[in-house]
Amino acid sequence: MASLLPGAGSAGRVMLYDLNVYKPPPEYKVDQAAVIQLWRDTQRYCPADIDFQERVFARSGLAPVGTHLPPSINPAYAGNDAVTDLTSAAAECRMAVCGAVEGLLQKTGLQPRDIDILVTTCSIYCPTPSMASMVVNAFGLRKDVQAYHLGGMGCANGVVGVNLVADLLKAHPNSTALFVCTETTTPAYYRGNDRHRLVTNLLFRMGGAAVCLTNKPALRRRAKYELLHRVRVHTGQSDEALSAIYHGPDEFGHNGIYLGKNVVSQASRALGLAMTQVAPRILTWSQLAAAALHMLQQRRRRSAAGGAPSRQDGSSSTSTSSKGGAVSPPAAATDAEVKGAAPAPFAPAADAAPISTRRAAPSEGNGSSCGSAGSSSGGGSSDDDDRSRISGDGTPQPGLDDKQQSPPSAGGACEAGGAAAGAAKSGADGAEDAEPPTPAPTPAPSCDPSAHSKPAAQHHPHPKGPQRGSGSQSQQYRPNFQQSTCRHFLLHAGGAKVLDGLGEALQLDAGRLAPSRAVLHDYGNVSSSTTWYTLAHVETVSGVRRGERVLQVGVGSGIKCGVNVWKALRDVRDVHPAWEHWLPPAEATALRLAASVDLRGLGSRHVAGRALFAAVMVLAAVVMHALMLRLAAAGLVV
């Protein structure tokens, strides 16, 4: 289920040569206030649904004016009559993908014939011929290029897909790979009124990224980063995880991306497993020592309380509970309890999962038929009611199936990673209460009074298995990832509150979270290319110094989670057109000039030239001195 693979071997190291993110035309920007007014004037949605979408957008972290949509679904061009046919989807795809690839080739000076491997990824839009074939045709790549397209992989594939590219490079030494990430928003547009699906219309935006990776030794001097570690986790064995996010029709046949209310719990579980794997590789020695010491103390406490009776749910009597109810345990500890394995040395602190102790605010009246329908359906129509379904009674979400759990890692280092898993889970769970984009809102009843007789049935392509209640836990060691060996964090998140929860769980300050927030604000959720936009922001605004490590995290449907650790091979300060507006004009011009002149290369050549000149002058002096001695011996020189 989870694999930890070395990012680079001694024979061929996988390096990130350069990247480019696509900046859509400014005329494609979305004015959300104008969109809301259009909905009210044309009565596209009932007042309660409009209010719901306003509240979701206000907390999403997206700029009121700034994110981009293609003309086919942009209300400024299409109004309420979005065009989602294949022709419009192909036009958007070609614009974003070719724009990103063209910018990368111009930036690096690479020629299409230099590309040996091509991998493209887009979740919803999967045309025939494939997107990879479109790139081959548009840029005239070689006939023997290794071209592949990945579909349906969700937001995580911008990170997870690096695994495939790295494996292809290992199988083809001395090669250059082009990795293209995008999400074509046109076919993903939802025309209905189901709130589970409406959220994606508010968050997902147009974008794309092109990344060049290589294992050519000749390109190492100019490469930016080296891939140190790559972790991939897939929890699709669980029916709950598989059905948490999917693209499919509502009860009226309108296709859309469905976000289940269990998205946060399933995504946080996958993230916890991934952080368990990667934590031993990035924590400092002092943090690993602290984790080992905490583990020994926990074992000593359990040994002292070995005769205490166990509770019915399998947790020991020494476990603690939160004030409002039992705290949902991390996946690894739960699995150990269920399967009878050695108990994990750490359990999350009582404050690590505040979602289980919170109560949702009282729902507000919506007026109109939607409000009455919300109360009759039991789910409520406001987003506060949606959150109350998660933990409105003060109790935690049900646990996962026994078969869905993963045993805790053995050894002090891996157990320290298990602590990181608990921390990551607590952050995501904390975000569940406050941010509807990741845990999807409760489905809105139809505005048609005739539909109030029974709740709207939701189509789930996969059945959900039985669930198990969660028990109480003991304290868990939570490492501070800001004090780890990683200095930059590229986090994919669906909204501002999710970033708040992740930042609190990983103990990251506002500066470490600022690049991810900037991506949400300026470009929205651009799916698999989100973390590459974040890296471009870091390179433009602050830069990366040689030797610094970068942690890249992506979570998506499946549920999948990927974590990559990169190490900077040189100082990186690059002006990306997508983020140039963050810099003063004078600074942007100076940085662009420095990049075009290649001061590093010119400096090296200048030093080498001066050294060669000095050697020639010394040799000339020696020759002249020997000649003068010979002339003096012959009496030709007085």
pLDDT digits (tens, 9 = 90+) for 542-583: 999 999 999 999 988 989 999 999 999 999 999 999 999 998
Cα–Cα distances (Å) from 361 to 384, 427, 442, 500, in that order, read: 6, 21, 15, 20
Strand, coil or helix: 552: strand
Cα–Cα distances (Å) from 526 to 274, 406, 516, 574, in that order, read: 22, 31, 12, 21
Q: 330 — phi, psi (to 5°)? A: -65, 160
243 is written with which tokens?
Answer: 């059905």
CB 501 within 8 A of CB 429: yes
Residue 224 CA to residue 546 CA, distance in Å, equals 9
Nearest to 412 by CA among 331, 339, 347, 346: 346
Q: What is the DSSP string of 459-486?
A: P-SS----------B-------GGGSSE
552 is written with which tokens?
Answer: 């890249």
E-strand spans in 56-159?
65-68, 117-122, 146-151
Encode burial over 306-340: b for 16+ CB neighbours within 10 A, e otherwise: eeeeeeebbbbebbeebebbbbbbbbbbbbbbbee
Strand, coil or helix: 179: strand
- Is residue 339 scored above 80 in pLDDT? no
Query: What's the Rg (C-alpha) of the chain?
Result: 28
Question: Can you tell me the mean pLDDT for 506-526?
Answer: 91
Residue 272 CA to residue 525 CA, distance in Å, equals 22
List the chain domain ranges.
Answer: 15-222, 607-637
For 15-222, CATH gives 3.40.47.10
Nearest to 110 by CA among 15, 18, 181, 16: 18
Q: 146 — phi, psi (to 5°)? A: -85, 100
Residue 79 CA to residue 219 CA, distance in Å, equals 48
Please state which of the ranges 422-426, 542-546, 549-553, 618-622 shows the lowest mean pLDDT.
Answer: 422-426
Which stretches within 305-411 are classed as H helix? 331-339, 368-377, 383-391
- pLDDT band, very low/low/confident/very high, at 386 (cuts 50, 70, 90): very low
The DSSP 8-state label assigned to residue 11 in this structure reads S
Nearest to 228 by CA among 75, 21, 6, 61: 6
Per-residue pLDDT, 474: 53
**Which distant-in-sequence residues (6+ apart) come within 8 Å of 246 by Cβ?**
257, 258, 460, 461, 462, 557
543 is written with which tokens?
Answer: 């830069």
pTM (2 d.p.)? 0.71
Residue 309 CA to residue 285 CA, distance in Å, equals 37
Q: What is the pLDDT of residues 455-497, one digit of tens each?
A: 344 444 544 444 444 433 456 777 888 889 999 999 987 777 7
Residue 171 CA to residue 438 CA, distance in Å, equals 37
Q: What is the pLDDT of residues 115-170, one digit of tens each?
A: 999 999 999 999 999 999 999 999 999 999 999 999 999 899 999 999 999 999 99
CB 572 within 8 A of CB 543: yes
Per-residue pLDDT, 597: 62
Residue count (the chain)? 638
Q: What percent of the chain has pLDDT over 70?
A: 69
Residue 291 CA to residue 419 CA, distance in Å, equals 8
72 is written with which tokens?
Answer: 């086919």
pLDDT, mean over the chain: 76
Question: Can you tell me the mean pLDDT for 187-211?
Answer: 93
Nearest to 145 by CA among 111, 121, 122: 111
- pLDDT band, very low/low/confident/very high, at 425 (cuts 50, 70, 90): very low
Question: Can you tell me the mean pLDDT for 624-633?
Answer: 84
Residue 331 CA to residue 492 CA, distance in Å, equals 21
Residue 549 CA to residue 282 CA, distance in Å, equals 9
Residue 127 CA to residue 134 CA, distance in Å, equals 10
